[in-house]
């Protein structure tokens, strides 16, 4: 059986058995939904399928390469020189930890600061939205500045900042900038490649979540970003 061990078969059997159980159980709530042509079980069964494919892929990997490849990867991760590199780069001092904390606080600052400003000046809803746009722009500029010097920390913070912006600016507007930002943080600088990859990833996400799985992604509540998100949903559905 190639390089398979009994443990590999037990692990694969457990996950595939769990997938089978969940698939059978999905018939308990299978019903039509008026606003979704694929029914109530489409999304759960899609997850079950991905779990089964992952289990089969892991089994095939062990069949072809055994545990040797995984052991080498783990050994390389443990002994990658990260500790020595951090020491040489002075990533152990109080100043570094404080600056890291400040950078990681940016998403939480955005979640609170606009409301505090609006409350202090007694602004209405429109004023609050303008404040959110201004604060977001300033914080994004700070993040762009940090990218040149602290890419690792920005990479850790960026998903949190993206999540913080979703409620106000919506997935449909924020996602393209997040995708481009991730590529930029990891060293991509070619505009053509960045635009093509962003369009491909963004298109796949829209097709999967909006057109196929009919998942309600945030459209935002700040105009005109809300209008853009609503228009995208209308076009795709």
195 Cβ neighbours under 8 A, 6+ residues apart: none
What whole-number distance in Å separates Cα of residue 214 and Cα of residue 216? 6
Closest CA to 208 of 43, 1, 60: 43
Question: For 122, phi and psi rounded to 5 degrees?
Answer: 65, 40
Domain residue limits, the chain:
6-78, 104-236
pLDDT at 210: 76
72 Cβ neighbours under 8 A, 6+ residues apart: none
Is 0.85 topped by the overall pTM? no
Is residue 174 within 8 A of residue 219, CB to CB? The reply is no
What whole-number distance in Å separates Cα of residue 232 and Cα of residue 219? 9
pLDDT at 33: 62
Mark the ranges of the chain whose per-residue pLDDT is less than 70. 1-3, 33-38, 40, 66-93, 96, 213, 237
What whole-number distance in Å separates Cα of residue 145 and Cα of residue 143? 5
- Write out pLDDT tens, residues 214-226: 777 788 888 889 8
80 Cβ neighbours under 8 A, 6+ residues apart: none
- Write out pLDDT tens, residues 120-132: 888 888 888 999 9
Distance of CA 98 to the CA centre of its chain: 26
What whole-number distance in Å separates Cα of residue 50 and Cα of residue 56? 10
Angle between helices 106-121 and 151-169 (to 10 degrees): 40
């Amino acid at each position: 059986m190639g390089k398979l061990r009994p443990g590999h078969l037990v692990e694969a059997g457990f996950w595939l058995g769990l997938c089978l159980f969940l698939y059978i159980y999905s018939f308990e709530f299978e019903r039509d939904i008026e606003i979704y042509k694929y029914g109530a079980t489409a999304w759960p069964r899609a997850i079950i399928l991905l779990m089964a494919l992952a289990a089969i892929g892991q089994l095939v990997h062990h069949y072809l390469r055994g545990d040797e490849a995984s052991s080498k990867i783990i050994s390389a991760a443990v002994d990658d020189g990260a500790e020595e590199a951090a020491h040489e780069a002075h990533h152990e001092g109080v100043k570094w930890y404080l600056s890291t904390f400040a950078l990681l606080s940016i998403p939480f600052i955005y979640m609170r600061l606009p409301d505090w400003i609006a409350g202090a000046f007694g602004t209405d809803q429109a004023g609050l939205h303008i404040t959110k746009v201004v604060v977001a722009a300033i914080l994004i500029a700070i993040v762009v500045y940090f990218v040149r010097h602290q890419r690792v920390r920005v990479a850790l913070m960026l998903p949190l900042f993206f999540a913080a912006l979703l409620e106000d600016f919506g997935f449909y507007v924020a996602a393209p900038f997040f995708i481009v930002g991730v590529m930029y943080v990891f060293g991509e600088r070619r505009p053509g490649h960045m635009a093509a990859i962003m369009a491909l990833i963004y298109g796949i996400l829209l097709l999967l979540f909006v057109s196929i799985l009919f998942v309600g992604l945030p459209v935002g509540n700040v105009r005109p970003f809300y209008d853009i998100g609503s228009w995208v949903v209308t076009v795709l559905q």
